[in-house]
Amino acid sequence: MSKHYFDPRLKIFSLNSNRPLAEKIANAVGVELGKSSVNQFSDGEIQINIEESIRGSHVYLVQSTSSPVNDNLMELLIMIDALKRASAKTINVVMPYYGYARQDRKARSREPITAKLVANMLEKAGTTRMLTLDLHAVQIQGFFDIPVDHLMGAPLIADYFLEREIQGDDVVVVSPDHGGVTRARKLAEYLKSPIAIIDKRRPKANVAEVMNIIGQVEDKVCVLIDDMIDTAGTITLAANALKEAGAKEVYASCTHPVLSGPALQRIEDSAIKRLVVTDSIYLSDDRKIGKIDEISVSELIGDAIKRIHENKPVSPLFEIRYR
């Protein structure tokens, strides 16, 4: 464990979605994980008990709303209610991966905006601050009327490539779609490399078709970056298109490895040489296929928690200085 944190009022609790990450965050901060239990009744109802006093404490609750999304979200809401009723002074939800973030607008008539609904539920339950990482849509910050600290995974991913001297003019950072250009530009800035964009059309959910590559990729090392990889259709089609266009090597990276359905097989069969992901979502050992390199966000989040607790700015965390 890091040096023991000076303020005993700071407490970190974990639920079931990603306990290994929560343990690493607690270690980075210098505290023990809070004692609590999560059980289910025979009909599936969730029952939570906090097994230590948290009266007057500043609680940081770690829970990604990854698969099973609805169970993890319900766990989180119940735990927030328990913390509120146990007289926690502040309830700070640390949500590395924000489930339902893709439902951030009405794409068609009569659709819900579920990302906003989740924000409403978290606030109503008693959340006083959100700490999250690489939201799929940054405007989700505006769905809350409480402070939201939004961290970036790009500096960590940049460190991975800089350590391997994958940088400069021989490297092209590629956005797999128009929506990710800002993210790609930030990574390109760190690597001092140009960018390219994949122009794609998506005929229906979880189906993507590569149409055109905007930028020079021939004889270049290409680095794809996205906020999340779900079924891996977009990222693998993009990688294969880059290879066909003459790229020397293709790396891929994302903050959130959702990796559902056929994702792992698609990645294994694709032109991707290495896939760099973070541990924002728990990956069991059997899902860490040979091409996957995992980097941890625990130091980043741990540092953010200490800065928030001490009323210091979190902006220095956007620099390349982790890993």
pLDDT tens for residues 55-90? 999 999 999 999 999 999 999 999 999 999 999 999
pLDDT in tens, 272-316: 999 999 999 999 998 998 999 999 999 999 999 999 999 999 999
d(CA 309, CA 76): 21
Catalytic site residue 200? Answer: yes
Q: Which residues make Cβ contacts (< 8 Å) with residue 67, sequence separation at least 6?
A: 258, 260
Give the bridge partners for 151, in sequence order.
133
Residue 231 labeled ligand binder: yes
- Token pair 């999340």 in the structure block, residue: 228
d(CA 34, CA 241): 48
Residue 105 labeled ligand binder: no
Select from 1.10.10.10, 3.90.1150.10, 3.40.50.2020, 3.30.2320.20 the CATH code of 10-152+298-318.
3.40.50.2020
pLDDT in tens, 94-127: 999 999 999 999 989 999 999 999 999 999 999 9
Residue 136 labeled ligand binder: yes
Residue 44 labeled ligand binder: yes
Residue 226 labeled ligand binder: yes
In the chain, which ranges are continuous DSSP H helix?
19-29, 69-85, 114-125, 154-163, 181-191, 233-244, 263-269, 298-309
pLDDT in tens, 159-216: 999 999 999 999 999 999 888 999 999 999 999 999 999 987 666 666 656 568 999 9
In this structure, are residues 232 and 275 in contact, taking their beta carbons and an 8 Å threshold? no
d(CA 70, CA 93): 17
Please tell me which residue in 11, 24, 200, 306 is annotated as part of the active site. Answer: 200
d(CA 89, CA 225): 39
In this structure, are residues 123 and 148 in contact, taking their beta carbons and an 8 Å threshold? no
Q: Where exactly are the structural domains of the chain? A: 10-152+298-318, 154-295
Residue 175 has, within 13 A of its CA and on its CB side, a CA count of 20
**What CATH number does the domain located at 154-295 have?**
3.40.50.2020
- Token pair 């990796």 in the structure block, residue: 259
d(CA 59, CA 11): 5
Nearest Cα to Cα of residue 247 among 213, 219, 215, 214: 219
Residue 219 labeled ligand binder: no
Q: Which residues make Cβ contacts (< 8 Å) with residue 47, sequence separation at least 6?
A: 38, 39, 40, 41
DSSP string covering 198-244, please? EEEEEEETTEEEEEEEES--TTSEEEEEEEEESSSHHHHHHHHHHHH
Tell me if 10-152+298-318 shares its fold with 154-295: yes
Residue 47 labeled ligand binder: no
Q: What's the pTM?
A: 0.94
The first and second tokens of residue 180, run together, are 């990710």
